[in-house]
Amino acid sequence: MIFKRSYKYQSTMPIDGIKSKLLGQHMQIHQMDFEVSEKNGVLRIIPHAERETHLKTLPITHIDLDGKGSKTKVKISSKMRRIDSGGPQLIVIFCLFLLIAAALFFLFGTAEHRSYTYILGGVGLAIFIMFWIKMETGYFDYVRKIRDYIKTQTSAT
């Protein structure tokens, strides 16, 4: 869906070096604690949101490591937690229905229904733009900062 992000790059560190630098580490992003753990050979970065009282949309990040000699291919995949995905999906579907209704009024409506087209289309776009700005400062900001943290930790020094 539109909330999944993946990023690939190549590191000069070996797989064991990357794992030793990342495993067990905690990072703070916007006063939220994220921990790096390993499950089935894949590194995972999960948020600790047990004590969180505010509604936040948080990512779960997986790090796949593929060793090619002295270099390692790193693939970072982030997706929304299942518990957080319902609200954003409903907002996107609602905006999509508003835009579809505006298009139908435009295509099949008469001149007197033209105002419905503009109202529904404008409301749908306005809600989606506000939603996307909120996601960029929240969820996608977490994803970017986690990716940057991983990249700085896995660069060979």
pLDDT, tens only, 72-86: 899 999 999 988 889
* Residues 134, 130: Cα–Cα separation, whole Å: 6
Q: What is the DSSP string of 32-46?
A: EEEEEEEETTEEEEE
Entry pTM: 0.84
Burial 113-136 (b: 16+ CB within 10 A, else e): eeeebeebbeebeeebeebbeebe
- Which is nearest to 66 in space by CA: 5, 11, 144? 11
Residue 5: pLDDT band (50, 70, 90) is: very high
- 143 pLDDT more than 70: yes
Collapsing DSSP to helix, strand or coil, 17 comes out as helix
Taking only the tens place, the pLDDT of each residue in 8-23 is 999 888 888 888 889 9
- 96 pLDDT more than 90: yes
The domain segmentation of the chain, as residue ranges, is 1-157
Residue 109: pLDDT band (50, 70, 90) is: confident
Higher pLDDT, 31 or 7: 7
| Confidence (pLDDT) at 157 | 54
